[in-house]
Amino acid sequence: MVLHTMSRTVVLGVIGSDAHVVGITILEQAFRQAGLTVINLGVQSSQTEFAEAATQHDADAVLVSSLYGHAEQDCQGFHETLEAHGVDALTYIGGNLAVGQNDFEETRRTFQELGFDRVFDAETTPEDAIAALERDLRISTTANERATVTT
């Protein structure tokens, strides 16, 4: 899947004390292949680092990844931090967001209440995330662009 040639920028990183890197590395590669400009903050990124990167790069979306199950505590006040830095961007979060997560819909509601536009579980594919970005950013591909995609 290739996004329309209009350049879109996303900030991607792992928040708080979480140190998993595989997920964001896969997402970074898929997003770049789809035509996005990716600012990868890496692991153990603070809320302020996300906000500063989003401001500096005029990001269209901020994507937070967490795998260790403590994302709720890491994301308390996240949207207030973004707002304080003047960030006006979509916010996504995904991964294993809660320890002992039995009902993902409950987890989804928790993060929507924290202000996230989209909440993904750990089984979400990069293609699903790209499709969500296309819809949310209203990016369309032409038939010719779709025909040139190699997977």
**Tens digits of per-residue pLDDT, 94-133?**
999 998 877 899 999 999 999 999 999 999 999 999 999 9
For the chain, list the domains and their CATH numbers. 9-147 (3.40.50.280)
Interval 21-78: pLDDT, tens = 999 999 999 999 999 999 999 999 999 999 999 999 999 999 999 999 999 999 999 9
- Report angle CA 2, 130, 99 to the nearest 5 degrees: 155
The answer to whether 54 and 126 have CB atoms below 8 angstroms apart is no
pTM: 0.86
Annotated active-site residue 70? The verdict is no
What is the rounded distance in angstroms from the CA atom of residue 28 to the CA atom of residue 10? 9
Q: How far is Cα 30 from Cα 124, in angstroms, rounded to an integer?
A: 13
Q: Give catalytic status of residue 18 as yes or no.
A: yes
Q: Classify the phi-psi angles of 134: left when phi > 0, otherwise alpha if psi is within -120 to 50, otherwise beta.
A: alpha
Exposed, middle or buried by CB within 10 Å (0-12, 13-18, 19+), for 43? middle
d(CA 2, CA 89): 21
User: Which residue of the set 20, 57, 79, 85 is catalytic?
Assistant: 20
